A and B are shown apart, each in its own frame.
Chain A
Amino acid sequence: MSEWQPVTIVGHGEPLLSVSDLHTWFELRQWGFLRVGAVRAVDGVSFELARGESVAFVGESGCGKSSLARTLLGLHRPTRGEVRFAGRSLGGLKARELQAYRAKVGYVQQDPFGALPPFLDVRRILAEPLIVHGVKDRAQRDRRIRAVLDEVRLSPAEEFLPKFPHMLSGGQQQRVVIARALILEPAMIIADEPVSMLDASVRVEILNLLRHIQTQRELTLAFITHDLSSVRHYAERIFVMYAGRVVETAGVKELLDHPQHPYTQSLLAAIADPDAANATKQREIPGGEPPSLLHPPKGCRFHPRCPHAMAGLCDVDEPPDFEPRRGHYSACWLHR
């Protein structure tokens, strides 16, 4: 596996989250007992996140970004490797401690309507985490609920407290989801495609809100998306994932302006900015499809689709992480 050297951001101190050689595999069985293989959703990922940092994990469906998120949330047990949060390994936590950990990590789901229980009103939805985590005083709960509603700009609170999810617009629902993720005062937020179900005009509002709260509260924000064009203003670093691996990572501007890995380059080339000239241009896209995670290809996982693939190298040896530009890592033999 690649020896990725974590980037340390000066002034942030020790990392809040450190992930080393993380593997999350899902075993496949036939007739319920025969092991026939494993889907390698996350297959050797290492990185560190500093306190107060906002990062984006970018990749197409099936690249393992959501499995990574769910592993970080403690919803999947890693097959191998380690997740350390504030110096403690998740693997060693008991059920009670895991519950306390989940209070420290907020989760913003993709589909706000699906993520909110339809038969509870906003007051009850936001009270639930407080009750579970032992805030017994009703007045105190009420204070915290009002404060967090104000923070996600659902005000006046009176108007929203008695509403059920179906009475809210998509953007308002997503604000409730964010409020729920914030109410236990987490140190980190994991947002899995927080705006992909929303309209263009609302997306920006929600992204701005998340970014604002993140900087105000000095939260660590890991934001998972397939949409590279929306990343620029909302994260400081990008991790590009392909077939269960991180293939490239750098600061946002550096990565968008100087992509190094052929996969990232083709991903960027496929994205349109609104321009009437697009209609007359054919975009260059790699042939084929992402590989099966059951039997990923030998060597570099992108080599069957890569325009620069070198026979005898890319299809044999897995590329380690190179640093072709300062602080910019790319797992590709081209940088050798």
Chain B
Amino acid sequence: MSDRTLLEVEDLHLHYQTRRGVVRAVDGVSFDVRRNEALVVLGESGCGKSSLAKALMRVLPRNVHQVSGRVTLDGTELLAMSDESFRRDVQWVRMALVMQASMNALNPVVRVGEQVVEPLRVLRQWPRARAMARAVEVFELVGVSTDFLQRYPLELSGGMRQRVVLAMALVAEPELVILDEPTSALDVLTQAGIMNLLKRLKRELGTSFILITHDVATSSELADRVALMYAGQIVEVADAVQFFTEPAHPYSKMLMASVPRLRQEHRPEPILGQPPSLLEPPSGCRFADRCPSCFKRCAQDPKFIRLGDRRRVRCWLYAEGGDR
């Protein structure tokens, strides 16, 4: 672990218990996030990307069957911590989560200025005056006029509320902010505004981000690196430039080819078939039955293979002595 690494995740599993059996939402995920880096976790619905965020932040539903692995935030082992100390010392303060559609989860009867500083008031017992001074700072930071501090959520537009939620995540100056689909419910122009803001925050604050999204184009707006998930696993981690110009995993290639482009004549191509059920995922490669390059060896679970020093791919095509 180099000293630039902030978060390290090793072999993380999150399984849910359902009536039909155990669902392996996150099934052996390893990656790291460096300081002042934006890692995008990209994947389609049901691939486990939101579950990953929930596992990292410990906001789990009741039907969890198993959480295991190692999560290390700047030397602190998170999964070993008690709930109480995690809530006191990590949540909001060192690591914050902006959940999907959380802009619609603001308390409608509390002024937004008060809500934004709640983490400081509750976790750090800041007095009101000091907290409100900080609220002014974070509102300016996210580009919301401080006149809005006294307003209620319903008086703000969707884009404004999203900025307020971001302000709330940033209020205690965490080292890492996890954003789960922060723009998916917003209009095109509002979305572009939020992405502009995130780029500026990353530059000015030096914060690290994990951006979780299904939208390939949006992901390229912030990514330094991309981790692509499929059926509960990461299939490729690569530098943004590498990922967007020459994706390696067959799924990455097909996903890129399926994206409609505004500025190119390129005709998008669908990926036929469906991801496997996470109840009993296949024992070999999980993409095998949709993969055009599938061969004999794909019946075995592929290893995470290092390609150069900046890319890893979970595909037998890249294995040495691959007996094609």
Contacts and interface: CB of A to CB of B under 8 A. Distances in A.
A202 B44 CA distance: 10
Given A233-B268, A278-B220, A270 B44 contact: no
Nearest to A305: B189
Given A200-B255, A201-B254, A273 B196 contact: no
Nearest to A266: B189
B253 interface: no
A285 to B, nearest CB: 5
B240 A283 contact: no
Contact of B244 (A61, A171, A230, A274): A274
B270 A201 contact: yes
B56 to A, nearest CB: 22
Given A201-B271, A205-B270, A282-B196, A289 B259 contact: no
Contact of B262 (A199, A256, A278): A256
Interface stretch (B4-12, B18-26, B79-87, B209-217): B209-217
Interface hub of A60, A170, A256 (most chain B Cβ within 10 A): A60
B244 A226 contact: no
A208 interface: yes
A212 B245 CA distance: 31
Nearest to A169: B274
B189 A200 contact: no
Contact of A228 (B199, B245, B262): B262
Interface string B195-228: 1100110000000000000111111111110000
A85 B70 CA distance: 64
A320 interface: no
B260 A274 contact: no
B109 interface: no
Interface hub of B45, B240, B260, B274 (most chain A Cβ within 10 A): B260
A270 B191 contact: yes
A34 interface: no
A169 B275 CA distance: 10
Given A256-B262, A273-B263, A202 B270 contact: yes
A226 B268 contact: no
Contacts of A271: 188, 192, 217, 262
B186 to A, nearest CB: 9
B105 to A, nearest CB: 19
A282 B267 CA distance: 27
B100 interface: no
Interface string A180-208: 00000000000000000001111111001
B187 A226 contact: yes
B157 A289 contact: yes
A273 B261 contact: yes
A253 B71 CA distance: 49
A203 B195 CA distance: 23
Contacts of B240: 276, 279
B223 A279 contact: yes
Given A202-B270, A229-B217, A275-B220, A286 B261 contact: no
Nearest to B198: A279
A267 B189 contact: yes
A280 B45 CA distance: 28
B262 A201 contact: no
Contact of B221 (A226, A230, A232, A278): A278
B193 A229 contact: no
B256 interface: yes
Contacts of A39: none
Contacts of A268: 262
Contacts of B265: 232
A2 B38 CA distance: 48
A272 interface: yes
B272 interface: yes
A324 B65 CA distance: 64
Interface of B: 38, 44-45, 157, 159, 187-193, 195-196, 199-200, 214-224, 239-241, 243-245, 254-256, 258-265, 267-272, 274
Sort A-B residue pairs by CB-CB distance and give the 7 closest, nearest first. A270-B192, A201-B271, A205-B270, A276-B240, A229-B262, A60-B187, A204-B270
Interface of A: 60-61, 169-171, 199-205, 208, 226-230, 232-233, 256, 266-268, 270-276, 278-280, 282-283, 285-286, 289
29 contacts: A169-B274, A171-B274, A199-B44, A200-B44, A200-B215, A200-B255, A201-B44, A226-B187, A227-B260, A229-B217, A232-B265, A267-B188, A267-B189, A272-B192, A272-B217, A272-B221, A273-B264, A275-B244, A276-B220, A276-B223, A276-B244, A278-B221, A279-B199, A279-B220, A279-B223, A280-B199, A282-B200, A285-B192, A285-B196
